[in-house]
Amino acid sequence: MYIAMNRFKVQNGSEEAFEDVWKNRDSSLSEMQGFREFHLLRGPVNETEGYTLFASHTVWASQEDFVAWTKSENFRAAHRNAGGSKVHYLGHPQFEGFSVVEGA
């Protein structure tokens, strides 16, 4: 099993717009081989730096399935308008990928 996460620092005041982008997206993840589940996670607010931390969290059968998704037309279509929203970010998303330790 493989878990892929992107962490987003969303400027305070843009949280609702950010969530709306995800809630209203045209997702085709379920069509992809190996896709198991998706969650959008809302983390803590960092008042000092002015952002709320979010993470997109997907679970895949394998890292190979995830990589195939990143090279697919479905991936390109899903990210085609990524910069066109009214969401204000602090920096670029931060990717983190994890292989599950079986039996732990």
Give the global pTM: 0.86
Task: Give the tens place of pLDDT for each residue, 5-54.
Answer: 999 999 999 999 999 988 887 788 888 999 999 999 999 999 999 999 99
Task: Give the tens place of pLDDT for each residue, 73-88.
Answer: 888 877 666 666 677 8
Confidence of residue 103 (pLDDT cuts 50, 70, 90): very high
pLDDT at 74: 83
Q: Provide DSSP, the chain.
A: -EEEEEEEEEETT-HHHHHHHHHT----GGGSTTEEEEEEEEEEEETTTTEEEEEEEEEES-HHHHHHHHTSHHHHHHHTTTT-SS--BSS--EEEEEE--TT-
